[in-house]
Structure 1
Amino acid sequence: MKKYVYLFFLTCSFLSCQVLDEKVKGLVTPETYYTTAEELEGAVVPIYNKLVNLYDRTGRVTCAMYGADDVTTSKALPDLVEYEVFKPTGANAWLKYWWSNAYGGINSANNVIVNSSKVPDSEAKNQALGQAYFSRAWLYFYLVRIHNKIPLITDITAHPDIKRSEPKEVYDLIVSDLQKAEKLLPDSWTGYRSNIAMTSGTAKSTLSLVYLTMAGYPLKDESKYALAAEKAKEVIDNSGKWGYKLVTNFADLWTKQRFNDEIVFGLFYNNSNGDANQSAPLCGAPAEYSGWDYYFAELNFYKAFPAGARKDATFWTKFPIETKDSVVIKDWTQLQQKHPYYKKYIEIDGYDWTKPWVYIDWNSSRTNVLMRYAEVLLIYAEAKAMSGAPDATAYAAINQVRKRAGLADLTAGLNKEAFRDAVIAERGWEFAGLEPNGSRWFDLVRTEGVEKAAADRDASEIPLSVTPTKANYFAPIPDGEVLLNPNLAK
């Protein structure tokens, strides 16, 4: 493995980040450092560090998605409850963590992009740039979907008075960055990066989702449906180039989650080297096993979920409990939270489902999967239908996912709106429970379905603070950022 040199930055906030500019003998600065592609590659490492830090605990990155109907949380966790009940505040600790790491990653990507002009052209330079462009696009895509109007920074100078940009401007940059990334990134990597680095397929797949999102709320640019279908079809038709395919058994996605052929974009951890992932097993485990109860399934979502292999692999409903003399099996209704849990996010190396109370570690090497090939198929199905009509190729795409789930083919002859609704439901089931990129929340926002989903809520759930409207679709900017720059309040 190559040894990387890290660049260190002095920041007063993540929106006013600037390089420490002192004329000290031997000090490493962008003006003196970037001369070779290898040095530029070294500057890519901090981008990955920010990404893995961002996603290493469920709740940090997903707090703003708790308004969806697939998850709820413990009443004892106020930072998550705020979003569950549609009353988030700028003081939310999880929000601050997400914001700072997202903009920290963007600053690191900008560092590579801006300083690449000092480096002679080469394949290695292109690969470094491709990773930077993709990462910046990915992070802005999350920020704009969560906050809508956000600061847009593309350089490495201080911006103490920056204003929020309109979402259209942010999406234009995202599309431009991904179009560059798909040309600069390789189809595959060799050596230690072969399973972990972004590829051209990652960029193309993400671009298809970006186009699909732009077709919905708030931009509602329906011309993007055709572009989403075209880009997703490009990935599907050339899936062998990147090795993408559906894993045969849905459960294998989670029992063989370190590496599998369905991963389009994943963040990989190595707990033995200190690269720890805290998203499993305790985040989604019940208090009965010393779990943290960050998230579990909303009752009506669980009840409406179609029976079959996918439901069995998704939900945890039977719980062995150790007593003084024996082990008893309790149903989810007998637990403290009285909700089903998400089984698919629990397993780590050495986990024993017959003795889940046995502590292994709160850190793991479990992969956080941010995009799967199943999503590309469902993007194509929805976008193809909405850009014209649900033809045979659209049906074939969704039916691949349904077949793997143990379901019959989708009803033939649906009009495009009914077909679209079926795809949205399918996405909800396939990516249930805060899969970061297939989040149910983002689907509800872009299809303007938040209000309907919130209305279908079991009476025993945490009471809502408000009846949600579009005013509740987007999260506030952290108070600390607004205090530093009052322009961000506007």
Structure 2
Amino acid sequence: MKKYNIKNEKWTRPLCIVLLLVITTIFGCADLEENPAESILSPDVLNSEETLKAAVSGMYKTMQNGVMWSAYFIAGYGGDDITTHSATNKIGFRESDWRRQTPTSERLIDNGGGSYGASYDVIRVANSIIENKDNIVNGTQEGINRLVGEAYFLRAFSYLHLTRTFGQVPIVDLNTSISELQKASFLEIYELMESDLQMAETLLPNVYPGIPVVGARPNKGTAKAYLAKLYLHWAGFPIKDNGKYAEAAAKAKEVIDNEGAYGFGLTTNYRGLWTAANRFKQNESVFAMIFCNTCGVGYANRTTGRLGTPAVAGGWGETFGEITFYNDMEANAIANGTEQRFHDTYSDDVLPRGSRPDASDWENFSDEPHPIFRKIVGGNYAETINTTANDLNRYFMRYAEVLLTYAEASARAGSSTADAWEALNRVRRRAGATVDITSGDLVELAFQERGWELAGEYERWHDLVRTERVVEFLQKRSPDERVDVVNNILPATSGPYLYFSPIPQVEIDLAPQLGN
């Protein structure tokens, strides 16, 4: 478990960074310093493009230490698309699923620091880079700008993850002491993220050089796409600045109009997005974490594979599909000709280990009846059937989301243009739909399409929060959904942590004011 260290009364964390240098591949590595917290990030050493490159690579490693675990996505279990086992050791996930978390709930701090610790670890490194950027004079200006742009982007990304998970959180810099830690207002957090993403938009190139996988490192289009996402949330709960819908649509449209320049597009092999064999053969990732378990240095995705199957199939029972959402998506797929996306989202032909029932027979599992996400067990189950550590990509944003953000934000801004309908239909066509939709409630259609397209990717919960539809959809749970067969606990419909998870108690113990 990670702790805050008080050193010279300043707020700091042990960084434990493995400093990486990107050479000819994404994951070439070289240790530069024994103690990066005191050397590589200090102003007298962070003065060249090479040391900056090492610091940025270390920031990715720090981030990866968090996102490789399911606990990083703890909030996503609250969505009506995702559930977990009602017993075993999954109580931390279940409490998020029920929206019954407390500051001492398990999984709020887990493995790589959970969502909270992992995000502040990244912010700490980003702060060091940003606050020392004027000292970096040795190297090419183009290279320095790009790397500093990544620091701005990753700081905004981390604050977005924090505020969408925990609500109001502290904004920190290198001089913030523990006694000074205070929750910032939502507006202050959003304004900081906007400023950071605007800086990233300015500094990042159209295409990140030397990286063969689109989205593995952010480019200018990535920053624009995240500005669109930020504005979409800004317009919804909790700030509710409706004027931001037009800004979300405008930024998303900039990405769409320049998709070729940024290298973005919709892959034709949707299922292949969740296979190791095809993880480099797509251009849909706007921003993603690329894993390499076979590199032997801890780059494994530990949120997939057997974590998506029940014990009866030799799995860990961690991440399943919700029954009502599954049934609704299947009905919608049949009605709209998008059955292929449905079958690419949920597993219906995988034979678990031995002679156990196959995934299409999930209703008759002797353990707990839940649909199995193909996105979790893997698009090609043969790659992941016996694994809990593999090479599947973790997509933070896919290009399909940019298209749907444009469609929804345009409609919410009162501008249901032909381009907005086309953005929606591009996603539907890729899903298999043969008839375009050109009329109706575009707001609701785009919102619904986001649910189907992003099912199982931990995004649905945040859409329910920003639209204040949490209770509406959680009340639609199937009566067959086993939420807690021991204590007969059902999802909460009110309470202090209905929309946002509490700040972990270990952090409150160090800074009691954060518990207010």
Q: Same fold (TM over 0.5)?
A: yes
Normalised by the length of structure 2, the TM-score is: 0.84
Is 1:247–2:279 an aligned residue pair?
no
Mapping 1:350-369, distance limit 5 Å: 351-352=381-382, 359=386, 361-369=387-395
Normalised by the length of structure 1, the TM-score is: 0.88
- Which residue of 2 is the match for residue 47 of structure 1? 59
Match of 2:290 among 249, 254, 268: 268
- Which residue of 1 is the match for residue 196 of structure 2? 177
**CA offset digits 1:384-411 (Å, max 9, x no partner):** 1111231211110001111111235464
Amino acid at match of 1:316: S
Is 1:16–2:7 an aligned residue pair?
no
CA separation of 1:465/1:427 partners in 2, compared to 1, >3 Å: closer, same or farther?
A: closer
CA distance in 2 between partners of 1:157 and 1:385 (Å): 42
Residue 254 (structure 1) shift: 2.2
Match of 2:323 among 288, 299, 303: 299
- Which residue of 1 is the match for residue 515 of structure 2? 489
Secondary structure of residue in 1 paired with 2:397: strand
- Which residue of 1 is the match for residue 373 of structure 2? 342
- Which residue of 1 is the match for residue 25 of structure 2? none
CA distance in 2 between partners of 1:18 and 1:300 (Å): 42
Mapping 1:209-288, distance limit 5 Å: 209-255=229-275, 256-273=278-295, 274=297, 275-288=299-312
Amino acid at match of 1:88: Q
CA separation of 1:327/1:459 partners in 2, compared to 1, >3 Å: closer, same or farther?
A: closer
Runs of 4+ in structure 1 off by over 6 angstroms are none
**CA offset digits 1:86-126 (Å, max 9, x no partner):** 11011223212221111001101111111112112711211
Asked whether the 8 Å contact 1:228–1:379 carries over to 2, the reply is yes
Mapping 1:98-113, distance limit 5 Å: 98-113=115-130
Residue 147 (structure 1) shift: 1.6
Match of 1:423 among 446, 461, 470: 446
Residue 44 (structure 1) shift: 0.8
Mapping 1:50-65, distance limit 5 Å: 50-57=62-69, 59-65=70-76
Residue 154 (structure 1) shift: 3.2
Asked whether the 8 Å contact 1:86–1:466 carries over to 2, the reply is yes
CA distance in 1 between partners of 2:427 and 2:13 (Å): 47
Match of 2:99 among 86, 95, 98: 86
CA separation of 1:87/1:189 partners in 2, compared to 1, >3 Å: closer, same or farther?
A: same
The alignment yields a C-alpha RMSD, in angstroms, of: 2.5
CA distance in 2 between partners of 1:55 and 1:40 (Å): 23
Q: Which moved more, 1:465-474 or 1:78-87?
A: 465-474
Gaps of 5+ in 1: 1-8
Q: Which moved more, 1:310-319 or 1:219-228?
A: 310-319
CA separation of 1:467/1:108 partners in 2, compared to 1, >3 Å: closer, same or farther?
A: same
Residue correspondences, number = 463
CA separation of 1:181/1:147 partners in 2, compared to 1, >3 Å: closer, same or farther?
A: same
Match of 1:75 among 86, 89, 95: 86
CA separation of 1:49/1:348 partners in 2, compared to 1, >3 Å: closer, same or farther?
A: farther
Secondary structure of residue in 2 paired with 1:341: coil
Instruction: Report % sequence identity.
Output: 35
Gaps of 5+ in 2: 16-34, 334-338, 484-488
Mapping 1:199-218, distance limit 5 Å: 199-218=219-238
Amino acid at match of 1:346: V
CA distance in 2 between partners of 1:388 and 1:329 (Å): 47
CA distance in 2 between partners of 1:62 and 1:329 (Å): 27
CA separation of 1:387/1:128 partners in 2, compared to 1, >3 Å: closer, same or farther?
A: same
Asked whether the 8 Å contact 1:284–1:291 carries over to 2, the reply is yes
Amino acid at match of 2:99: F
